[in-house]
Structure 1
Amino acid sequence: MKKKVLLIEDDKTVRENTSEILELANYTVKTAKNGKEGVALAKSFLPDIIICDILMPLLDGYGVLQIISKSPLLEHIPFIFLTAKTTHDDLRKGMELGADDYISKPFGESELLRAIESRLKRVKILEQNSKPIEFKNVSGCLNIKNIDQFLATKKVFTFNKGETIYCEGNLSNHIFLIKKGMVKTYKINEYGKELNTGFYSSNQYFGFSSFLKNTPHFENSKAMSFTKLYKINRAEIASIIKNNNHILYDLVIHLAGNSVELKNKLMLFAYGSVRKKTAVILLNLHESFTEVVDNEIFITRLNLANSIGIAKETLARTLHDFKEEKLIDISTKSIKILNKMKLSKVD
């Protein structure tokens, strides 16, 4: 069956030429000359992919993408911007809104077709991965006493400090378990600002969102030190659950704790003061961060500010106040907690 393409483009020449290329490549094509018309057509045509210009009358490409992404009927459709407007801010804004790709004008026929084929293949993979897990027996997962026995059969992956483990938008059929080292997860907003979403150390799991929901990762991850980790895939988890019920409890406990921690963090970011957010993050790092020696947390000011979601200057003032209140002591490379009890009661 032919794949359906919706092309939204206000330039008549570009619209007609692009449509002709796609039809010759055996796609069924419908076109719209502005964003408003394109949104209406998308709802009736239900294309397999949408190609949309940014600068258009009535409704620009960003507006089209926002409407499409909020429609349960259309939100899954791959969306490619076709535009001559390609500054860093434009690219960032589009990707933050959920665009899958950009094609810059003028473009070649092969570039256009490659972009479309790539996105359609990705959708096919997503559909295949969304099928229910088959609870089949996997070698190494039968009748194990504990996770350690299973991990002894697994390959260990290594990452150097600063090396990326996965990027936002990647799809993964694995969860990650750290054997040794330190990993941070983070997001980049439309202004290029980094916000750390978590720190993970030895014997901790991360990367659940893509694994559980069969959706691309919503954040990035990077090794903060030389790191060794395991990748545990869906089939292995399914087999462990089927054959080793005594281990299931540990997995559920970890998942539940991860969910509660995330909700608490969202509430803190939404309603907490700068002082409260800083105090809570410091205490959390003290409990889970591997770079802690004698109550001293070794973390850069930039990473700490990005974890709290504040500017470095704001963090510096807050840390200075905490030092004056004798809650912490600070040096150029570390922060030492002096009074956990008082720090936990900061408003």
Structure 2
Amino acid sequence: MEKILIIKRDNKETERLREILDLAGYDVYTSSYAVQGIRNALNIGPDFILCDIAFSNPSGSKDVLTSIRKSKNTAYVPFVFLGTDISLQEQHRGIARGADDYLEEPVDSVDLLNTIAIRLEKSHKFVTQRKLPFSSFKERIEGYRILDQISKHREIRTYGSKEIIFGVGQYVRYLYILKSGRVKQSKANQGGKELVTDIFSPGDFFGTEALVFDMPSKTSAVAIEACRIQLIPKEVFLQALTGEPYFDALILNHLALSIQHKEEKLLSIAYDSVRKRIADALLQLSEDPGGKKGGVQMLQEDISQLVGSATESVSRTLSEFRSKNYIEMSSGRIHILQRERLANILN
């Protein structure tokens, strides 16, 4: 999970930025003063920094940008200034000193998420190109072989529909391997509005972020339907992670793909229509091993949380698809009748 540091005096705009980023699934930290911001940046090691331009005075002793760029640990962290009526001269001066971009306040949520996604993607390219890819198919298979080896004879636990597997703020004690059924991973803001960040199907494993970074989970995992999950204890997982290079590469690759998926999802929510997002979700879910006979068993509320739209909009769109005979709905399951019609919506 990417960490974003906001260095800005506390006000309504700061809280609005925090809520947008929190709901988008980022781990958000705030600092109200320049010195505090510099200290937090060096201690936290953020993946992205948003900073009030008022905290950047090249001639001052508390210039945030200069201090951030001097440290080898934060020298290449994406850094974006926030401000109102920022002159072109100020922008050029900041870029020359190492800033990556500027955002005008009040910041548009779409511009904010898009800027972060693009900058993070560029930042992650070095990691994914130099550290993550397997050099051969054989090495990928070896990583899964080790996963299979450490999962042998481990407990398999049964969860009922809507049962919580782990919640926000809990320390994850296991790597979870889904054997049957489906699980949703989601995050909610302070107002209770929920966004589904992932849907897991048989064969998927989850809980890796909290285990690798040894921190309380920022998301919850809930069974969509009755499921069976194999539990690999944390200490067994960490031992394999540190002692088996192929397994380490497998998990690192998994985390990279998770980041890529999150960025693509944010861009989809920001720019794609509700019809396109729902069509895409139905097509993907129906291809999952958990989608029996092409059917998708999900509540409309779950679909709305998955695509980031109101339940009413999802209901209207599904009704439209049903009236056009793209889908049929029965017994809480959605069956796709014309995949090509739904696929055309994506183009």
TM-score for both structures, normalised by structure 1: 0.54
Q: Deviations over 1:99-155 (max 9, x none)?
A: xxxxxxxxxxxxxxxxxxxxxxxxxxxxxxxxxxxxxxxxxxxx9954333212423
User: What letter matches 2:292 in structure 1?
Assistant: V
By how many angstroms is 1:244 displaced?
4.3
Q: CA deviation at 1:253?
A: 4.2
Alpha-carbon distance in structure 2 between the residues aligned to 1:163 and 1:252: 29
The separation in 1 between residues aligned to 2:292 and 2:186, in whole angstroms, is 24
In the TM superposition, residue 204 of structure 1 has moved relative to its aligned partner by: 0.9
CA drift of 1:274 comes to: 0.6
Residue 28 of structure 1 corresponds to none
Structure 2 partner of 1:308: 307
Identity of aligned residues (%): 25
Unpaired segments ≥5 residues, structure 1: 1-38, 41-57, 78-142
The aligned residue for residue 341 of structure 2 is 342
Q: Is the 8 A contact 1:200 1:289 kept in 2?
A: no
Would you say the 8 A contact 2:171–2:217 is kept in 1? yes
State the partner residue of 1:333. Answer: 332
**Once the 2 structures are TM-superposed, how far is the Cα of residue 233 of structure 1 from its aligned partner?**
4.6
Structure 2 match to 1:280? 280
TM (norm. structure 2) is: 0.54
1:256 aligned residue: 256
* Higher fraction of helix: 2
SS at match of 1:209: helix
Give, in whole Å, the separation in 2 of the partners of 1:173 and 1:285.
28
Question: Does structure 1 retain, via aligned residues, the 8 Å contact 2:326–2:337?
Answer: yes
- Aligned-residue Cα RMSD (Å) equals 3.5
Paired letter, 1:336: H
Question: Counterparts of 1:146 and 1:217 in 2: how far apart (Å)?
Answer: 25
Instruction: For residue 345 of structure 1, give the secondary structure of its aligned residue in structure 2.
Output: helix
The equivalent of 1:236 in structure 2 is 236
Larger Rg: 1
Deviates more, 1:218-227 or 1:230-239: 230-239
CA pair 313-180 structure 1, distance change in 2 beyond 3 A = same
2:289 maps to 1:293? no
SS of the equivalent of 1:215 reads: coil
- How far the C-alpha of 1:262 sits from its partner, in A, is 1.9
- Does residue 70 of structure 1 match 2:30? yes
Provide, for residues 137-176 of structure 1, a one-character-per-residue CA deviation record: whole Å limited to 9, x for no partner.
xxxxxx9954333212423333333221211122335432
Contact 1:297 1:335 in 2 (8 A): yes
Task: Determine the C-alpha separation between the residues in 2 that align with 1:316 and 1:184.
Answer: 20
- C-alpha distance 206-259 of structure 1, shift in aligned 2 (>3 A): same
Residue 137 of structure 2 aligns with which residue? none
CA contact (8 A) 1:175 1:231 kept: yes
Give the number of the structure with larger relative contact order, counting CA–CA contacts within 8 Å between residues 6 or more apart: 2
Letter in 1 for 2:30: K
Q: Which amino acid aligns with 1:327?
A: Y
Structure 1 segment 111-126 matched on structure 2, within 5 A: none
Partner AA of 2:225 in structure 1: S
TM-superposed CA distance for 1:59, in Å, is 7.2
SS of the equivalent of 1:303 reads helix
**Equivalent AA in structure 2 for residue 208 of structure 1:** T
Equivalent residue, structure 1, for 2:97: none
